[in-house]
Structure 1
């Protein structure tokens, strides 16, 4: 139901699953295993997989921290979109990459739930994409010492509110790794 014309396809978006981003992440191993299972399923079904990789002062380009987590490996033909802002669309090649592949629906996974994942969910939605959040394939660190809720609550709240997001001509929904549809 996307508002993007001639874009019936779906892409699996893997946001910032990098060594330095997920090192201390909530339920890290389970989340990465779920993302790996989704990547395998997408590849088997011919669904494009698009990787997003953040760089910053804390994640310098080409550093060990900046690398994609070793449990995951982009295939040589899968695009890696480099970014410096929370929203994966902001000042990146993501929109052009998705348009080239006829994608109008995003299935979103990754880290940090309360930062880049959330920004990307909203960024895609306001740009006209249908956006599905995979409920058990996103994670965050514990920032509660700075006043944030604990990671379990951040993940639960994001899953809760995203299922009620709405807008004309597009959909937002939440599905588990086992239940998400990767096809168009």
Structure 2
């Protein structure tokens, strides 16, 4: 039901599951295992997997911390989008990558829930994509020292409000790793 024309396919988007980003993240190993299961399913079902990698002053391109975690192995034929802003669409070629694959629906996973995942959810939705968040396949680090709620609450709140997101001609939703349909 996307508002994007001639884009009938779905893609799995893996946002910033990089060593430094998920180091110490809430339920890190469980979330990465869920993402790995989704990547395997997507590959077996012929659903494109698109990887996103962030860099900035603290997350230096090419450093060990910048690398995708060792538990996940992007394939050479899978798109890798490098970004410098929270929204994976901002100043990147992500929309072109998705258009080339006829993608109008994104299934989103990754880190950090309260930053790049949330920004990318909204960025995709406002650009006309249908967007499904995998509720047990995103995480974040603890930011309570700066006044943020505990990570568990951040994840629960994000899942709650994304489940009720609405806009003309687009769908939004939250599904679990086991229940999400990767294809339309």
Q: Indicate the TM-score class for this superposition, using the shorter chain for normalisation.
A: over 0.9
Give the superposition deviation at 1:54.
0.1
**Paired residue secondary structure (1:132):** strand
Give the superposition deviation at 1:8.
0.4
Matches of residues 122-141 of structure 1 in structure 2 within 5 Å? 122-141=122-141
Give the superposition deviation at 1:178.
0.3
Give the superposition deviation at 1:101.
0.2
Q: Distance in 2 between matches of 1:68 and 1:56?
A: 15
Question: Could you list the runs of 5+ residues in structure 2 that have no partner in the other structure?
Answer: none
- 1:181 aligned residue: 181
Q: Distance in 2 between matches of 1:67 and 1:31?
A: 17
Question: Does the alignment pair 1:115 with 2:111?
Answer: no
Give the superposition deviation at 1:167.
0.2
Q: Distance in 1 between matches of 2:170 and 2:107?
A: 14
- 1:172 aligned residue: 172
Residue deviations 1:16-43, cap 9 Å, x none?
A: 0000000110000000000000000000
Give the superposition deviation at 1:128.
0.1
- 2:33 aligned residue: 33
**Paired residue secondary structure (1:148):** coil
Q: CA RMSD in A?
A: 0.3
Give the superposition deviation at 1:52.
0.1
Residue deviations 1:94-135, cap 9 Å, x none?
A: 000000000000000000000000000000000000000000
- 1:103 aligned residue: 103
Give the superposition deviation at 1:81.
0.1
Q: Distance in 1 between matches of 2:75 and 2:36?
A: 12
Residue deviations 1:122-151, cap 9 Å, x none?
A: 000000000000000000000001100000
Q: Distance in 2 between matches of 1:58 and 1:50?
A: 23
The runs of 4+ residues in structure 1 deviating greater than 6 Å are: none
